[in-house]
Amino acid sequence: MSEITSYRMFIDGAGCDAADGATLESVNPATGDVWCRFPNAGAADVDRAVKAAHRAMTKGPWSTMTATQRGKLLFRLADLITEQADKIAEVETRDTGKLIRETKAQIRYVADYFRYFGGAADKLEGSTLPIDKPDLFVMTVREPIGVVAAVVPWNSQLMLSAVKIGPALATGNSVVLKASEHGPTPLIELVRLCHEAGFPAGSINVVTGLGDPCGKTLTSHPLVARIAFTGGPSTARHVIRNSAENFATVSLELGGKSPMLVFEDADLDSAANGIVAGNFGATGQSCVAGTRVFIQDKVFDQVLEKVAARASSIRIGDPLDTQSEMGPLATKAQLDHVEAAVAASVQEGAKLITGGQRPSGFGKGWYYQPTILACPGQHITSMRQELFGPVLSAIRFKDEADAIAMANETEFGLAAGIFSRDGARSLRVMRQLRAGIVWINTYRAVSPMAPFGGYKNSGSGREAGMESLLDYTRVKTVWINTGTEPMGDPFIMR
């Protein structure tokens, strides 16, 4: 067995262990072996991190920096991420099983997110108001909210962190980042680069540990003013309850069970590629995975045949091998969950088209085949549950109204995909889908300029885009008496 690496948290500008010395282990999903240890933060550690962030907000130098200076730090961070992308990518692949070809590309793109927010840092403006009272000049200014608790899962964690800490730091807030216990090391590397870039002590901190007490203490801490959370609905309910202790502003990105609609007039090769990308990219471990695939009757068999052919040829392998196209699931529990859901779906009447089992030859690794299920209805388990694995469920539809009704028949509403050559139809359907993101003749495209977020149980608030910066500020209204006379007697009404 290779040597086990030890990682430390970053609090108040320095690496540190948990106060009681407690640690957790991370298992490499490709091998099933422990590869590193990291601190298991307790309540005292989180309290120290939040207080360090609060000091940064109230005392210099972070609190006295101009927006332009903060922007320059974010540009410097982006450069460091680009320079060390290969190193961080390897760490993330070992920790989560995400393909090295994907981690390298995504990390370099994460740098663009920080450049975007860095450039926007000094572009936020207040306003003057045409007030209805004489001799009063009224203006608004935007100020940082305070200490931000950013909580992210293990999948696409650098991207999910960038859309939180980027706008938070650009607008002058300080941050305590809580990394997932399932693969936290890339975020430790990210915060290390923040300090190397020159962010003052306490402005950005990272803690590692379990949801309780680490996450619970953070999201309920009285000095936390803003919570940005990505995860599942069940955990989000705890976060909302915790926020009752501090009345923090909360934004939630909670994943989904996204529909993909393929109409008979679609470019079927494009649609097939979109379905493969939306279900087997990142081994299906994506919050926007398009796992509910609705295909019009006339082309159902043809589309499914194309997708099945590509799924059967996907090269499953070591995620550190650049030739691999699909790697393992991130946790053993997730693998067990996917296996059980597929078995239940088949028992309920779904037809297994391809996949449906662990591939041979991977030892203790947590691999699962790309799997396609043809479902008779939406009562099937795989059509209802977010599996977070390489499993797509396909169902027929008759016409446009039928497709829209079935697509909206879910508690989630993060994303949706439409494949059709009819532009009018695409726009018509788009307007009726209850989803925060709709891709037309493409899938899984993201950008720092484009807001990201969902409807219904997929959460509230938006990440990325200029709107996200506004969400990390408060508006202050300033009233100035410009008259030459003293303020009037308050008991004389005019």
What is the C-alpha to C-alpha distance for residues 151 and 80, in angstroms, rounded to an integer? 23
Could you report the per-residue pLDDT of 373-428, keeping only the tens digit for each?
999 999 999 999 999 999 999 999 999 999 999 999 999 999 999 999 999 999 99
* CATH code, residues 5-254: 3.40.605.10
Residue 2 has a pLDDT of: 65
- Closest to 236 measured CA to CA, from 456, 16, 11, 467: 456
pLDDT in tens, 453-482: 999 999 999 999 999 999 999 999 999 999
Closest by alpha carbon to 96, among 178, 15, 186? 186
Question: Which residues contact residue 309 at a Cβ distance below 8 angstroms, ignoring those fewer than 6 apart?
Answer: none
Alpha-carbon distances of 368 from 27, 315, 326, 356, rounded to whole Å? 17, 12, 9, 8
Quick one: pLDDT at residue 160?
96
Distance CA 215, CA 232 (A): 14
State which H helix or E strand residue 178 sits in.
Answer: strand 174-179
10-residue stretch averages of pLDDT, the chain, 494 residues long = 87 97 97 96 98 95 97 98 97 96 96 98 96 95 98 94 98 98 96 98 98 97 98 95 97 95 98 98 95 98 98 97 97 96 98 97 96 97 96 98 98 97 98 98 97 96 94 97 91 84
Is-above-0.85 flag for pTM? yes
Q: Where are the domains of the chain?
A: 5-254, 259-440
Peptide bond into 200 cis (omega under 30): no
- 140 phi/psi in degrees, rounded to 5: -115, 145
The letter for the amino acid at 227 is I
Q: Which CATH number fits domain 259-440: 3.40.50.11890, 3.40.190.10, 3.40.309.10, 3.30.420.40?
A: 3.40.309.10
Q: Looking at the annotation, which residues are catalytic?
A: 253
